[in-house]
Amino acid sequence: GESVGLHLPTLSVQEGDNSIINCAYSNSASDYFIWYKQESGKGPQFIIDIRSNMDKRQGQRVTVLLNKTVKHLSLQIAATQPGDSAVYFCAEKLSGNTPLVFGKGTRLSVIA
């Protein structure tokens, strides 16, 4: 498949370990944040989201942490699996129906 990002930051993790992917967002007025997973040659898939009135939200094997003080968002993946290998994007938006603004992305490589 095609590469979606040849020069992205890369995180290499051993299978079974936990992964932490970080993102610095740009607008202190943003009130909604979302993480997407994108496999090569495919469209992004929703992983988890969080509103600005929360600092933590958990899903299945994933946790998103939001630190508004330093405008930082992180995605934690527990027990990382080979199928988690992909490019991960964070995105932010202001309130209302404004479009998402995407970060550059991080490539996660899982070593079996």
Partner 1 sequence: DGGITQSPKYLFRKEGQNVTLSCEQNLNHDAMYWYRQDPGQGLRLIYYSQIVNDFQKGDIAEGYSVSREKKESFPLTVTSAQKNPTAFYLCASSPPPGLAGLNSYNEQFFGPGTRLTVL
Positions in the binding site for partner 1 (CB under 8 A): 2-8, 32, 34, 36, 41-46, 49, 51, 89, 91, 93, 95-97, 99-105
- Dist CA 25 CA 38 (whole Å): 19
- Whose Cβ is closer to partner 1: residue 67's or residue 98's? 98
Q: What angle do CA 13, 69, 17 make, to 5 degrees?
A: 15
Write down the least CB distance from residue 65 to partner 1, Å. 17
Return the percent helix, strand and coil in the chain, to nearest 5.
5, 50, 45
- Whose Cβ is closer to partner 1: residue 41's or residue 83's? 41
